[in-house]
Amino acid sequence: MDFYKAEYTLKNKDVDMYRKLRVSRLFEMLQEAAIAHTEELGAGREKTLDKGFLWIVVQQSLQIARIPEYDETVIVESWPGDTMHVLFPRYYRIYTKDGEELMTGSSLWTLVDEKTRHFIFPDKNGIFIPGTHTDHDPALPSRLPLVKDPECVTEFTVPFSYCDLNAHMNNTRYFDVTLDQTGAEWHKKKITSIVSEFVSEANYGDTVRLSREQTKDSLLFMGENQKVLFKLKYTFE
């Protein structure tokens, strides 16, 4: 149980208009792997959700060699790192059945109380996830800068369909929202890395102001609602 593996054959619902794996679906797959493996390791809903504890993703980082396409079969591999106080590192690798490595990445998760939204200390609540070490553990996510000179791209109100069982906007929806505000010239470029940082929650009915800063090969987005909610950076070539 040190490593979790899941195989996916990409269907119509998984890809975009260019027949490439949608970024939001990609992060759904990573999230599914993290949750499934955590349950296998003994920290399933009976120790978390049923006690009013919620898993929250804090940061994510992904390095991309190639994005798979429609009808390709890929394998998602995931393993946990050593718990860091209230943070749970997790690593990922995505590759083809022929062994071609497509992506590597990492994320930091935490547990919060459903009512107070305060951090839960795992050692005080009988939650332990043993870490696994490899020679190729990807680097953990780094903090993203603020958008220096915010240019408002759009505002949106969080709809019911964006919210998950944690009663807030699911992290994968931020990829849809930001890429919807990215022009066609960017969609045709190759994404080489994605870094996301979730600072606070966006809830059903909240209005979010989305700002963007760009260079010739990157887009940095920031969402605000009186305070910073998230930051998300795409790098292209």
Amino acid (1-letter code) at residue 223: G
pLDDT band at 1 (very low <50, low <70, confident <90, very high): low
Asked if the structure places residue 131 within a domain, the reply is no
Asked if the structure places residue 137 within a domain, the reply is no
Task: Compute the average pLDDT of residues 194-209.
Answer: 97
167 backbone dihedrals φ, ψ, rounded to 5°: 65, 30
Asked if the structure places residue 95 within a domain, the reply is yes
Which range marks the domain in which residue 197 is found?
151-236
Asked if the structure places residue 55 within a domain, the reply is yes
What residues form DSSP beta bridges with 76? 6, 94
Asked if the structure places residue 176 within a domain, the reply is yes
Residue 64 belongs to domain with CATH number: 3.10.129.10
Asked if the structure places residue 144 within a domain, the reply is no
What are the strands of the beta sheet with 218-224, ordered from one edge?
4-9, 73-80, 88-96, 101-113, 53-64, 191-198, 228-236, 218-224, 207-214, 151-157
Task: Compute the average pLDDT of residues 192-211.
Answer: 97
50-87 confidence digits (pLDDT tens) = 999 999 999 999 999 999 999 999 999 999 999 999 99
What residues form DSSP beta bridges with 20? 69
Matching residue, tokens 């759009």: 154
107, 124, 141: which is the final residue of a domain? 124
Same domain (yes/no): 78, 24: yes
Same domain (yes/no): 12, 117: yes
Same domain (yes/no): 164, 206: yes
Task: Compute the average pLDDT of residues 209-232.
Answer: 95
Alpha helix positions (H), 115-218: 173-180, 184-187
Asked if the structure places residue 141 within a domain, the reply is no
Same domain (yes/no): 96, 39: yes
Asked if the structure places residue 136 within a domain, the reply is no
Q: Look up residue 86 and give its DSSP letter.
A: T
Same domain (yes/no): 11, 102: yes
Q: How far apart are CA 104 and CA 98, in angstroms?
A: 16
The percent of residues above 90 in pLDDT, for the chain, comes to 86
94-128 confidence digits (pLDDT tens) = 999 999 999 999 999 999 999 999 999 998 999 99
Same domain (yes/no): 114, 164: no
Amino acid (1-letter code) at residue 199: V
